[in-house]
Structure 1
Amino acid sequence: MTSNIVARRYARALFTLGKRTSLQELENNAAALESIRTAVAASPDLAQVFRSPIFSVGDKTAIIKALAKKLKFGGTILNFCLLLAEKKRLSSIEGIAEEYNGLLDAEKGVMRGQLLTAVTLDEEHKKALVAKLEKQAKRTLLLNFGVSPEILGGVVLKVGDQVMDASLRAQLSILKDTIKRGE
């Protein structure tokens, strides 16, 4: 079983459990998972402990309890992490957090993505562009803006698995292919 499948299954289980309570519980769980993911990313030693079969379940449980105290989470997330330790799945915590955030975004009707432009946009243009895209998608969009001079002009929008390439570079490439084929 690949780690993506494991992460997806555990994230769905935790999400289903939180959904029985409230949206606030779902958001609290997401915040706790994100704080754990940040701690693991910031500490290679902690990541190594979570991955290593050398450390016993008892050792990992003690570390999780100390982490819970430090990061101030408990209840469902603490029990969830203890279950992950018991099932030897702590190494999947980062993937679980990512999958969980995706489920929460879908529940709230939010889509996350990245918008690349050839030049830096000012805040007014960013807001106008997001508003127009939200109107077309009929969903709330949270976009990270980036600059990529290689696209020459236009935009490249990446949302989930989908990429909309409305860049000048892509248009020139299409034109070049059309000319080569003699159409």
Structure 2
Amino acid sequence: MSQSIIAKRYADALFQLGKEKAKLEQFESELVTLRDVFRGNKEIISFLNHPRFSMEQKKKFVSDSFQSFSAEIVNTLKLLVERHREEIIVDMIGFYIEMMNDAKGIADADVYSVRELSEAEKQRISETFAPKVGKQSLNLTNIVDPSILGGLRLRVGNRIFDGSVSGKLRRIERKLVSANNR
């Protein structure tokens, strides 16, 4: 079974547990912190994977390091360590956050622009495009890309809305080439 499927199953189980205990928001905030910790410290995964340390040492490390987290999150981490699934922790957190965003009607999106966008501009873009993809709002990541020349390009999942100058020029070029080939 692929790591992605396994990570998704753990995320789903944690999501259901959070729903039952009314701790979805708390879990999300703890998991975001946890993801930052694991991304910023690759040594943690190395330690948890290392065969020289016993399972008890690894579990104690998890308990001590994340003692301020809820028992459910700590127990999930211990379970993942016990089953030698440390490498899926970051993926599992990503899937959990996706589930939370779906539940809230939020989608992650990348917006490409020539310059950094202001918060007001990002808000307007979110309000304009969220209904077009069936969401309440968009969680925008602004990517500055001078190659688009002007305008915007928005990517939400696998959908692209291209209102950039370079995109319009490419479309005009394709029309001219196809008209000349007739």
| Pairwise TM-score range, normalised by the shorter structure | 0.7 to 0.9
What TM-score comes out, normalization by structure 1 length?
0.87
- Report the equivalent of 2:5: 5
Judged with a 3 Å threshold, the aligned counterparts in structure 2 of structure 1 residues 135 and 78 are, in CA distance, closer, same or farther, namely same
What TM-score comes out, normalization by structure 2 length?
0.87
Judged with a 3 Å threshold, the aligned counterparts in structure 2 of structure 1 residues 164 and 53 are, in CA distance, closer, same or farther, namely farther
Measured in 2, the distance between the counterparts of 1:123 and 1:44 equals 33
Deviations 1:33-63 (A, max 9, x none): 2222222222222121233445432222111
Q: Is the CA contact (8 Å cut-off) linking 2:58 and 2:81 kept in structure 1?
A: yes
Post-superposition offset of 1:94: 0.5
**2:109 partner SS:** strand
- Report the equivalent of 2:103: 107
- Report the equivalent of 2:59: 61
Deviations 1:133-181 (A, max 9, x none): 2354451222122321101122111122322222221221122122222
Q: Which one of 16, 33, 36 corresponds to residue 35 of structure 1?
A: 33
Judged with a 3 Å threshold, the aligned counterparts in structure 2 of structure 1 residues 40 and 125 are, in CA distance, closer, same or farther, namely closer
RMSD: 1.9
Measured in 2, the distance between the counterparts of 1:106 and 1:11 equals 13
**Are residues 1:46 and 2:6 paired?**
no
Please show how residues 1-183 of structure 1 align to structure 2 within 5 Å.
1-22=1-22, 25-69=23-67, 72-136=68-132, 137-181=134-178, 182=180
Equivalent pairs, count: 179
**1:119 partner SS:** coil
Q: Is the CA contact (8 Å cut-off) linking 2:151 and 2:163 kept in structure 1?
A: yes
Gaps of 5+ in 2: none
Q: Which amino acid counterpart does residue 78 of structure 2 have in structure 1?
A: L
Measured in 1, the distance between the counterparts of 2:29 and 2:109 equals 20
Which deviates more, 81-90 or 53-62? 53-62
Judged with a 3 Å threshold, the aligned counterparts in structure 2 of structure 1 residues 162 and 50 are, in CA distance, closer, same or farther, namely farther
Judged with a 3 Å threshold, the aligned counterparts in structure 2 of structure 1 residues 54 and 37 are, in CA distance, closer, same or farther, namely farther
Q: Which amino acid counterpart does residue 147 of structure 1 have in structure 2?
A: V
**2:69 partner SS:** coil
Measured in 2, the distance between the counterparts of 1:77 and 1:124 equals 36
Post-superposition offset of 1:96: 0.6
